[in-house]
Amino acid sequence: MTGGLPRPTPEEWREQVRAERRVPAPMLDGEMAGPLGEWFDLPVRADHVVRTILEDVARDGDAAVRRWTRRLDGVEVVDTRVPATAMRLAWEATEPGVRNAIIAAAERIRVIHEHQRDGAIRGTESAHLRPLPLRRAGCYIPGGRAAYPSTVLMNVIPAQVAGVAEIAITSPPGPGGSVHPLVLACAHHLGVTEVHGVGGAQAIGALAYGTESIARVDKITGPGNLFVTLAKRAVFGEVGIDGVAGPTEILVIASAGADPRCIAADLVSQLEHDPLAWAVCLTDSPPLADQVAAAFVEEASAATRSGIIASAAGRHGAVIVTESLAAACVLADEFAAEHLSLQGEAAEALRGRPHTAGAIFVGRRSPVSMGDYVAGPNHTLPTGGAGRYRGPLSVADFQRWPSVVDLSAEEFDALAPVACILARSEGLFGHERAIRLRMEAPLP
């Protein structure tokens, strides 16, 4: 690996963030566009690809799903649904240590999410909100040659705690045509019985519109590549989604006494995800900034995915010296990081200061990587500044709160004149008429 982390000033970084987060029309790079050349006239736009796939799935159902899976994944899948026996065998074949880790992580995650369960009616007897679980949810799990059992846990468990009756998992098929064994094993452990070997935009289309073999869902959750992200954005409104995920982000506020090697390792842990990932350290200590920068070069050079890390670091990595820790907190709030790590002697004192991070990790014993797997709160987090208005995926994401109105005679008599005045003020005389009929002929 050559180079290291850029060293912009706070204002230079602020300007970079503003520019980078003005999202242009998504374009495919050469590696992604190449395989699509025989199906589309180049240059290929990612949103055009996604729109075409979604329209095909809405029109042709399973046939379109199989067609695009064959074209894009190079896999012929006759029946997308994975048999229950294959899921059970995948669990039995999983190495015991991994099985035990899945069991332990699932238990911890479920305990934390159980605290989010909310069955209380909000309001009065005559006018209130009543929580109900969604009927059917679709959980997208990235896959193919890689495996993300942690994503299965983080998406399925809150849906189960919420009481969702039907949960369908979709995940890209590997070369053999089936879903990765670890995804199947994890689904089996959680008791999920519906897993489909389909990925990409065609999976999102199947979940959103329904096909002959995949019933439509009420909400789609889970991360994915560019095609999945654009497809989720395109079907929003047809179904609910958990959000539009961007590249992963980590921002560290480091105060005196922080371990530069741990900080560097934390930055590397997120940069290895994606060449577009963000990894930034803010500190009020110039010597600590120098130490973090030096440690990063050492950690990144020894990392397995050093090429991806170097690319991401050059684009979205930084060590920034601020005039104070308070200024670092202001900068952090402006960025609204997916993961915010507080390290050093001031970590505890700063834990209540940030307001916009998706998840906050306090101190040396709470690295972001623990949150990815087993700390308990959900690792599906807002990116791209969305932490300003939402938090992690939670049980609440799998509930809806319909309102119930059942007014007593006394309440109607008191409120009807008020409603009539407001209806007349808006020129909606039909609204007033519907109320006055009841005022003129009250029920016994």
Task: Write down the catalytic residue from 194, 338, 379, 432.
Answer: 338
> What are the tokens at 255?
């105060």
Residue 127 lies in a domain: yes
DSSP symbols for 257-300: T--HHHHHHHHHHHHTT-TT-EEEEEES-HHHHHHHHHHHHHHH
Residue 34 counted as domain residue: no
Question: Is 117 part of a structural domain of the chain?
Answer: yes
Q: How confident is the model at residue 197 (pLDDT cuts 50, 70, 90)?
A: very high
Q: Please tell me which residue in 339, 345, 355, 426 is annotated as part of the active site.
A: 339
Say if residue 125 is in the same domain as residue 234. yes
Assess whether 338 carries a catalytic annotation.
yes
Length of the chain in terms of residues written: 444
Is residue 264 domain-shared with residue 162, that is, in the same domain? no
- The mean pLDDT value of the chain amounts to 93
pLDDT for 25 beyond 80: no
Q: What is the pLDDT of residue 176?
A: 83
- Report the range of poorest mean pLDDT among 42-46, 267-271, 321-325: 42-46
Q: Classify residue 199: in a domain, yes or no.
A: yes
- The per-residue pLDDT for 141 is 97
> How does strand 136-140 pair with strand 132-133?
unpaired
- The predicted-structure confidence for 398-426, as pLDDT tens digits, reads as follows 999 999 999 999 999 999 999 999 999 99
For helices 181-190 and 96-114, angle between their N-to-C axes, nearest 10 degrees? 50
Indicate whether 395 belongs to any domain: no
Look at residue 373 in the predicted model and tell me its pLDDT. 96
| pLDDT reported for residue 24 | 46
> 377 Cβ partners below 8 Å, 6+ apart?
112, 359, 371, 392
Q: Residue 2 — very low, low, confident or very high, per pLDDT cuts 50/70/90?
A: very low
Q: What pLDDT sits at residue 20?
A: 85
Residue-wise pLDDT for 216-252, tens only, equals: 999 999 999 889 999 999 999 999 999 988 899 999 9
Q: Which residues contact 205 (CB under 8 A, 6 or more apart)?
A: 53, 54, 56, 57, 58, 64, 65, 231, 235
- For residues 146 and 187, state if they share a domain: yes
Is 148 inside any structural domain? yes
**What residues form DSSP beta bridges with 359?**
339
User: Which tokens hold the place of 149?
Assistant: 């059992």
Verify whether residue 92 is a known catalytic residue: no
More confident residue, 256 or 23: 256
216 with 336, same domain: the answer is no
Q: Which domain holds residue 140?
A: 84-241
| Same domain membership, residue 204 and residue 89 | yes
pLDDT of residue 30: 54
CATH number at residue 335: 3.40.50.1980
Is the predicted pLDDT of residue 167 greater than 60, yes or no? Answer: yes
Distance, CA of 273 to CA of 308 (rounded, Å): 8
- Summarize pLDDT for 27-68 with one digit per residue, the tens: 555 555 555 655 565 556 888 899 999 999 999 999 999 999
Highest mean pLDDT among 117-121, 149-153, 303-307, 312-316: 149-153
Average pLDDT over residues 112-138: 95
Annotate 6-50 with DSSP letters as a single string: ----HHHHHHHHHHHTS----B--HHHHGGGTTTSPSSPBHHHHH
pTM for the model: 0.91
CA gap 321, 182 in Å, rounded: 43
Asked whether residue 250 falls in the same domain as residue 221, the answer is: no
* DSSP state at residue 388: G
- State how many domains the chain has: 3
Shared domain for 217 and 258, answered yes or no, is no
